[in-house]
Copies of this chain bind each other. A is one copy, B any other.
Amino acid sequence: MSSVFGNNLKLSIFGESHSAAIGMVLSGFPAGVRIDMEKLSHFLSRRAPGKGAHTTARCEADAPKFLSGVVDNITTGSPICAIIENTNTQSKDYDNLRDVPRPGHADFTAFVKYGKAHDIRGGGHFSGRLTAPLCIAGGICLQYLEEAGIKIGAHVKEIAGVSDASFDPLTPELDKVGYDLPIPVLDTEAGERMMAEILKAKSELDSVGGIVECATTGVPAGLGEPMFDGVENRVSQIVFGIPAVKGIEFGAGFGVSSLRGSENNDAFCIRGGEAKTETNNHGGILGGITSSLPIIFRAAIKPTPSIARKQMSISLSEREEKELEIHGRHDPCIVPRAVPCMEAALAVALCDMMI
């Protein structure tokens, strides 16, 4: 009971930061779907680190190797397994962490759960690196959805208190996001101010958090099941599988607290002969079921817990407090890299409901 998501589509993710490989098995995906490998590769590169001064110095090739379920780039209907081999790993420095858990990481809770057998190197199975297999699955699902007329996009909505513009809730400008910018935003200038905050934090041996906003176009009405299998339930279940996510909100989200019913209710209307709503505070979901309006959600990403600054922790063996200094290569801000992960997570959740 772990690391497996989905009902009709089953996504099983495996691997540790420093294991021989990380990867995913996607069972139940339709047969006969052509995967554009170049497109997939480009999508994965958006998650990969190493594109600028603000990211980790590590270089992850992240080229997926398909072991099964695909012949000549066409899915066979059988479970798709793809792996990414871990080649560039430096495992030497983890003995210290085995005893002194890093604040904000899963080191301590993994120790409680798995004991000393936990593979702590690079965070093991809890590493942000494990979002790469999620992005393989998501990248495949995104292509499937696109064939069905459904598009998904995301952007950095906020970093360190600096805000980007928001998607138009009725017609989200998915094509206006600068996906290949160091920070994918709608408003390039906002992105530059975010970058300044990131570099400032970095220079202060610190890190910053932020918010990602994700939206769709073309999702038909009627997806999702009532109560515990609604779109919000399913999407949040997978999105909290992305490390560092601490909150999720749909449509008007936490803003509903200050709205009157008369403001928050989205009046129904006819647009182009179709039943639509005049506003989209409901984020495309009513009663857990899609309304055909864009699905819109935002997720909060905490600041990278690995910071170069000295921090207080404890020695697990000696049960006493102890100072900790983390070495190694760490992003001062993982929010930009979380953008494709959100798209991937939503794509997998939607595919699961559609097939």
On whether the beta carbons of B8 and A8 are closer than 8 Å, the reply is yes
**A248 at the binding interface (Cβ < 8 Å):** yes
Query: A247 and B254 in contact (CB under 8 A), knowing A12-B12, A68-B16?
Result: yes
Which listed segment binds B: A42-50, A141-149, A174-182, A208-216?
A: A208-216
**A336 at the binding interface (Cβ < 8 Å):** no
How distant is A240 from chain B, measured CB to nearest CB, in Å?
Answer: 4
On whether the beta carbons of A246 and B240 are closer than 8 Å, the reply is no
Among B161, B228, B260, B282, point to the contact of A4 (Cβ < 8 A). B228
A273 to B301, alpha carbons, bound, how many Å? 32
A15 to B67, alpha carbons, bound, how many Å? 7
Among B77, B289, B290, point to the contact of A117 (Cβ < 8 A). B77
How distant is A286 from chain B, measured CB to nearest CB, in Å?
Answer: 5
**A87 at the binding interface (Cβ < 8 Å):** no
On whether the beta carbons of B19 and A69 are closer than 8 Å, the reply is yes
On whether the beta carbons of B15 and A68 are closer than 8 Å, the reply is yes
On whether the beta carbons of B5 and A228 are closer than 8 Å, the reply is yes
- For chain A, the bracket of interface size reads 35 or more
Cβ–Cβ < 8 Å partners of A113 in chain B: 31, 77, 222, 289
**A57 at the binding interface (Cβ < 8 Å):** no
Query: A256 and B303 in contact (CB under 8 A), knowing A67-B83, A236-B236?
Result: yes
A-B contact pairs, 29 of them (CB 8 A): A1-B8, A2-B226, A3-B225, A12-B25, A15-B81, A16-B68, A28-B225, A32-B115, A32-B116, A76-B114, A106-B287, A108-B221, A108-B286, A109-B285, A112-B221, A130-B227, A161-B258, A206-B262, A207-B262, A209-B257, A209-B258, A211-B254, A233-B241, A247-B247, A247-B256, A259-B303, A264-B302, A269-B312, A275-B316
New A-B pairs, 19, CB < 8 Å, besides A103-B267, A125-B226, A261-B307: A1-B28, A3-B227, A14-B27, A14-B80, A15-B78, A15-B79, A19-B71, A28-B225, A76-B119, A77-B117, A109-B289, A125-B227, A206-B261, A207-B262, A208-B260, A246-B249, A247-B253, A248-B249, A264-B302
- The 6 A-B pairs at the shortest CB distance, nearest first, are namely A106-B287, A247-B249, A77-B114, A207-B261, A78-B125, A31-B114
